[in-house]
Structure 1
């Protein structure tokens, strides 16, 4: 392990809030799945995503890892919920009231108590058709009685990360495991920081990737940990993952879920933020969220990172071709054949011709079925 990773600078991880990041229209690594044919994607689906026709909320995938990260750095900001959730009809009304209040409140205005928003409550009760056979005063009194503590709870969630008891126990167990692993703790903890080192946590980066056609695609990445060695002018990327499987299965998951592409994308993002710095390493810290809660640290070599970059470039080259031709068919090459022949002879023949039997995107004049058969015979 690189010596510079033995110490990390003390830094502050703010309240877990991924709203602004998730609302950004820039694409993240996960968006490439909409373009990757092997993941059920296509150029058309990717275009639909860029055009805002497909909404993707990845917050749920980031939350667990981010909570473990928060527990490692600022555990005091994790708060266990201490209220009993009201019945759904009440929470529905209060949720609407709170959303309305937050939309109308700027950062300099303090949110009041539920009783301060009688007009918003009346509107929410109407929208939710809450107890429409009751008198208005009775309905209002019931919402205030049963919903006031829940409203306070929602207010707390804007400044603190509030967890259920079960979530809290899980997160603390994962964080404790990271702290005792001799390699993981050097990558994830701020307590052993050395001179000239800095660690950026939950770092949001916005950058552009240019296509061959000079079109720029806006991108975004949220790095769990970006380690900077200012003396050597190097950076390293660290990604924290929780898993329901054994940590020993991670090498298999690494390629199954294209984590090589993910870490390459993160490295590209970091390079855009620090163009004068060179990459010194990429790491994954993986912790089990059940059983023994084991933690393991994994390093990614440069050959694998390059392989991830090649995946990105190949996907974007396909998209650039679609832009230049104006064709965004859902499965490129499908209509080159009347039917898909599953015989071994056909597959072997096409492969010998250097043609992917099922996923080839033919450019220029399309081959007719007869021409394709004649080539097989030859």
Structure 2
């Protein structure tokens, strides 16, 4: 059998804020001894911290301590030991130390991803406000990854039955209307359409677009963004071969018989898309950054300081993030193979004797 068939995806994991539930959900996701039969986990963090937390939650697991991702061993839980000193754990409270490790862990994991030392990245929750106090310039992972990879990404929350992207990310609600444009929405629909084909194997995606205003503007009486921006973007995208529909009123769209008729939804702002998604998906949701050259996923929840250290955190969303990331990575490889091996269609032309001959396209 080929080694390609047995290749285990190398999953890079950043620990997030260790005073939140990040280490707990990571460790619980890896607690089954057979987990390394499916992929090779590489955690970027502190061996002492993880050992301390596994004892809190009474988990029986061993780590393979390494100094860089290239030393990772298949069949083991690998830990790139970024911090070898003792760390002061204050569960439930963000500290300078926990914030700096979250930043160091993310930076090291992204660098490994860029260098091809891990195949996908799964990020545990960070405290964005605290991170910005210590030099982090972005209001979330998406902006940071866009900067590092030099490409625009799209926040995309996914489950098997519901996929919601947001046109604007972490910005004040007062700035949303001025932050959308026809060209931006068209670009996002194009990105979303390609993502659904390449990453989720949907041959002809149908995308619903939500309106910005209540009742999708009510014909312009509650706002004109639908008439002037959103509808033209949808029409032009449709004319260019993208099956985009709308704009739909957001207040009534997320009924099962409506949203299930589409493969994805483009919401205009963060809470318009994420509030219904998190209500419907709850534990199954995964945050995926679409449009980047590498695969990055995360659970669809935050640091949850209120339950940190109490053995109450549910690891299901983090597990979903790992296996969704692996599936997307594999789908992309298969798609790229199909495109690479695509047959070149030749024109049939006739020579002077009337005999047909295959000639390459000019």
Structure exhibiting the larger radius of gyration computed from Cα positions: 1
TM-score normalised by L of structure 1? 0.24
Question: If the length of structure 2 is used for normalisation, what is the TM-score?
Answer: 0.24
Structure 1 or 2: larger helix share?
1
